[in-house]
């Protein structure tokens, strides 16, 4: 038996083609799940600049993955060509937020599971993942660090400002200090006791304090 005889055998004749109903159902569910993933992404996004185009990409990626898997599962010859075509694709777009990787993988996984015919797994699994992301991504942790930038007159004003901060926050640590003639600039890392930043207004009104700036910090960016 030669290589061409394999593809002339009755094996390919027994492969069931994808019906129009299957295509409409799979792509419709893929669109619905893609919109759900887009909604979760929009609600849980915590980056610097929100990109609506990335949200649309999640919807398109879910549908494209479903389309590709439907084609692969319906034709063996096409699946071999698809593997070769996708092997030369290179994605060089930088992922700025770690959570974006999870959403991309979620969209691809949802498309694969839908095209495989496991509709309950795709729907209930996506709902569960969405609920988990909403709960944990929107949870505010008071232990997150903040940076306070102070501009004070001198040593006495510096001590008074630090004592004031120690009485209003859980922890206060000097990260950097810049001394100039007639002024001292301090960068202090603090941990809040509660979700209340009114103490910054009182800090700025103290004698010898020119300015007080509070900046949230998560290790990747300030904003």
How far is 187 from 176, CA to CA, in rounded Å? 5
Residue 21 has pLDDT above 70, yes or no: yes
Q: Report the Cα–Cα distance between both ends of the chain, in Å, rounded.
A: 68
How far is 186 from 50, CA to CA, in rounded Å? 31
Per the listing, tokens 């929107």 go with 138
Q: Show the tokens assigned to 102.
A: 């999870």
pLDDT the model gives residue 138: 64
How far is 115 from 61, CA to CA, in rounded Å? 13
Residues 183-205 have pLDDT tens digits of 888 888 888 877 778 888 888 88
Q: How many CB atoms lie within 10 A of CB 77?
A: 10
Strands 169-180 and 183-192 turn out to be antiparallel
User: Where exactly are the structural domains of the chain?
Assistant: 3-137, 145-216
Residue 219 has pLDDT above 70, yes or no: no
Residues 118-175 have pLDDT tens digits of 888 988 999 999 999 888 876 655 567 888 888 888 788 888 888 888 888 888 888 8
Helix/strand/coil for 90:
coil
Residue 177 has pLDDT above 70, yes or no: yes
Residue 108 has pLDDT above 50, yes or no: yes
How far is 29 from 190, CA to CA, in rounded Å? 47
Residues 57-90 have pLDDT tens digits of 889 989 988 888 887 776 655 555 555 555 555 5
pLDDT the model gives residue 220: 46
Q: Show the tokens assigned to 117.
A: 């015919």
Architecture of domain 145-216: 2-Layer Sandwich (3.30)
How far is 32 from 29, CA to CA, in rounded Å? 5
Q: Show the tokens assigned to 4.
A: 């061409």
Which residues contact residue 137 at a Cβ distance below 8 angstroms, ignoring those fewer than 6 apart? 43, 44, 46, 99
- Residue 69 to residues 26, 61, 85, Cα–Cα distance (Å): 10, 12, 14
Helix pair angle (119-137, 98-115), 10° resolution: 160
């Amino acid at each position: 038996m030669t290589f061409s005889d394999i593809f002339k055998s009755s094996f390919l004749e027994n492969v069931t083609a994808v019906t129009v109903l299957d295509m409409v159902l799979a792509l419709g569910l893929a669109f619905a799940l893609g919109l759900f993933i887009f909604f979760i992404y929009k609600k849980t996004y915590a980056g610097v600049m929100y990109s609506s185009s990335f949200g649309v990409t999640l919807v398109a990626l879910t549908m494209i993955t479903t389309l590709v898997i439907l084609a692969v599962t319906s034709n063996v010859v096409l699946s071999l060509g698809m593997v070769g075509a996708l092997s030369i694709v290179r994605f060089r777009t930088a992922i700025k937020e770690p959570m974006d990787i999870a959403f991309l993988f979620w969209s691809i996984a949802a498309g694969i599971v839908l095209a495989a015919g496991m509709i309950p797994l795709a729907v209930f699994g996506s709902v569960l993942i969405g609920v988990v992301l909403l709960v944990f991504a929107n949870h505010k942790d008071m232990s997150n660090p903040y940076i306070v930038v102070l501009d004070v007159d001198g040593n006495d004003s510096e001590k008074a400002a630090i004592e004031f901060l120690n009485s209003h926050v859980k922890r206060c640590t000097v990260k950097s200090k810049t001394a100039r003639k007639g002024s001292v600039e301090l960068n202090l890392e603090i941990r809040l006791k509660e979700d209340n930043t009114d103490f910054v207004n009182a800090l700025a009104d103290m004698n010898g304090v020119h300015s007080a700036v509070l900046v949230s910090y998560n290790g990747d960016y300030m904003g």
